[in-house]
Amino acid sequence: MTELHGSEARSPRPEAWLKAWLLAARPKTLSAAAAPVIVGVALALRERQAIGWIYAVCVLFGALSIQIATNFINDALDFRRGADTHERLGPVRVTQAGLLTAESVLRGGYLFLIVAALFGIPLIAQAGWPIVVVGVASMLMAYAYTGGPYPLAYHGLGELFVMLFFGLIAVGGTYFVLTLRYSIAVVVCGVAVGSLAVVILAINNLRDIDGDRATNKKTVATRIGERGARVEIALAALTPFVAVALLGDFRLLTVLAALPLAIALIVRVYRSSGRELNRCLAMAGALQWAFSLLFLIGALL
């Protein structure tokens, strides 16, 4: 289906219009933004009984806003580059399906970047210039992931991107805002949470491997093949549990309750292909929620 133009694109039914924007936001992916904030808050609570909850809320909504902006921009730019076609195996992309125009979805992405910047103002007042650096870098990368002269997702750098911005930087930034310091434990937990984000990306890339090869999108999966991609997913799914064990804090071993879900996910990935992998994505999102909330419970013990 082609893009809608003119009055047909500008004046859909209100309920259809709202549904299209909700679809573009990809709510099932928002665990990737929430999980590192939850873990960062948990680490702060592990060391002190009281934290600035208003700052925690601002970090959470700022992270969610950047995630939604990234999803919007990705939706529009993948369509423009021809990466999303009618043969797409993943969930519906609104620009490819003709539900919204690429221009309007891009504008929506920029709007959510502005919203994220507004949530960042109290954080800058609290923690200073490091938050400016993190915030500006995060917003630039929201576009650079699929846009610009060297889109990261098209050159096999997606895993590095999510490890940094949905792991190390997100967990570390949350912890720094709440404590005004950093620690080795934050780095370890950043790797743990970032690995869970890598799982989601790698499943997406495994599902889309044939289409990405056809459009010359050089993801890690297209470089290492289906077998290598499944090994990557398995390692990334198990890494968080090893990382938390290295912290040596028995309270945090509550996360082991999520290990059966990780193993079930790995087994399903090895048994699935094509559209079947969409169910694996749902499991990967559930794993993010389970791990982060169990981590929080352990930190509160």
pLDDT tens, position by position, for the chain (301 residues)?
Answer: 334 444 344 555 778 888 889 989 988 889 999 999 999 999 999 887 678 999 999 999 999 999 999 999 998 888 887 665 555 566 777 888 888 898 999 999 999 999 999 999 999 999 999 999 999 999 999 999 988 889 998 899 999 999 999 999 999 999 999 999 999 999 999 999 999 999 999 999 999 998 889 888 899 999 999 999 999 999 999 999 999 999 999 999 999 999 999 999 999 999 998 889 999 999 999 999 999 999 999 999 8
| Pairwise CA distance, residues 89 & 75, whole Å | 14
Identify the pLDDT of residue 86: 59
Identify the pLDDT of residue 6: 41
| Pairwise CA distance, residues 159 & 137, whole Å | 17
Left (φ > 0), alpha (ψ -120 to 50) or beta: where does 13 sit? beta
Identify the pLDDT of residue 87: 59
Q: In angstroms, how far is CA 63 from the centroid of its own chain?
A: 10
Identify the pLDDT of residue 84: 58
